[in-house]
Amino acid sequence: MNDLTSLETTLLSEIAAAADEAALEAVRVSALGKKGSISERLATLGKMAPEERREAGAAINVVKDRVTAALAERRTVLKAAALEARLVAEALDVTLPVRETGTELGRIHPISQVIDEITAIFADMGFAIAEGPDIETDEYNFTLLNFPPGHPAREMHDTFFLAPDEKGERKVLRTHTSPVQIRTMLSQKPPIRIVVPGRTYRHDSDQTHTPMFHQVEGLVIDKVSHVGHMKWVLEEFCRAFFEVPSVKMRFRPSFFPFTEPSMEVDIQCSRKGGEIRFGEGEDWLEILGCGMVHPNVLRNCGLDPDEYQGFAWGMGIDRIAMLKYGMPDLRPFFDADVRWLSHFGFRPFDLPSLAGGLTA
């Protein structure tokens, strides 16, 4: 019995000292294996007398049960420790922010946003959106718009001319979106109410000009339109676009080949503090050109100027975007700098509307 007590103490100490499951398995084999210390004692029971066998067998089985229970308990502790160590080693830092989706990272370019704002305003007034090709004929870009031969716009220093085609005709990158007005008047019967946003091209480049830029023009043709209607349309547009309660406008005589009379339009503003604010102050800023459609343009499109009349206007989309959103230089618009776009761009689903506010 003293020998069994000593064996039990030794085995339980070895079990408690086992550092991992491999060491614990070695203790189990040494105690309960085929040649283990407990197994060898059980093998000696067959040589004992019945009374002695009964007493020794009971004592050995008690030690065996205690060792088996200690092994199971220690194995549970070691498995838990191993799992904990693995969790620590393979842990992921779930506190890091989730990667943003494309709709959260992406931004709408200010030009695209302003075009959407413009179309939202004029669509509310009943205007349709018209488009045309960037490469135009001399006839649509100049002749039908009443540009006489020798006009500066027909010179190489101002216009991008393409190489002559098989017929000897030299097409141009359109210098304005006005050819779309011609295409519309040739293909539709009045009344006509359109706005024409699009790219235009002129040989010019500095802080406020680029060889490719964006314009928006408007055209109204019917039997009753007059300057008063044009003034109202432009005032309502500026009020809605710059999101001010009211705005004063000043019309000055000017000259454009395709309108008569022609006018430059200034808008009321304040330049205090180095910031331009519209709808207040005593300063003026030129913002667009306009006028009544020239009778020659109407005739060129097959319309009788004694029966039909109308008005047209045009402005630079890039420029009014700069004025509204405080962008001092036009060139970054086309630099493809993601940092600039992240600052000045708009979220994909911030769609402009007159009901919700253009820049709500």
Type of residue numbered 236: E
SS3 label, residue 176: coil
Residue 260 labelled as part of a binding site: yes
Dihedral sign for Cα 299, 303, 308, 312, please. Answer: negative
| Helix segments in the chain, DSSP class H | 2-17, 21-32, 37-43, 50-89, 102-105, 110-124, 138-141, 178-187, 227-241, 295-300, 317-325, 338-344
SS3 label, residue 156: coil
93 — alpha (psi -120 to 50), left (phi > 0) or beta? beta
146: nearest Cα among 295, 355, 307, 318: 295
176: nearest Cα among 149, 153, 208: 153
Q: Which residues of 112-123 are buried (b: 16+ CB within 10 A; e: fewer)?
A: ebbbbbbbbbbe
List Cβ neighbours of 48 (8 Å cut-off, separation of 6 or more): 56
Chain centre distance of CA 289:
32
List the structure tokens of 205: 């480049």
CA angle, 183 then 210 then 270, to 5°: 95
Task: For residues 132 and 183, give the distance between their C-alpha atoms in angstroms, rounded to a whole number.
Answer: 8
List Cβ neighbours of 32 (8 Å cut-off, separation of 6 or more): 38, 39, 64, 67, 68, 71
* Alpha-carbon distances, residue 25 vs 10, 39, 86, 277, 341 (angstroms): 15, 15, 20, 83, 65
Task: For residues 88 and 47, give the distance between their C-alpha atoms in angstroms, rounded to a whole number.
Answer: 54
- Binding residues for Mg(2+), as ranges, are 260
Binding residues: 260
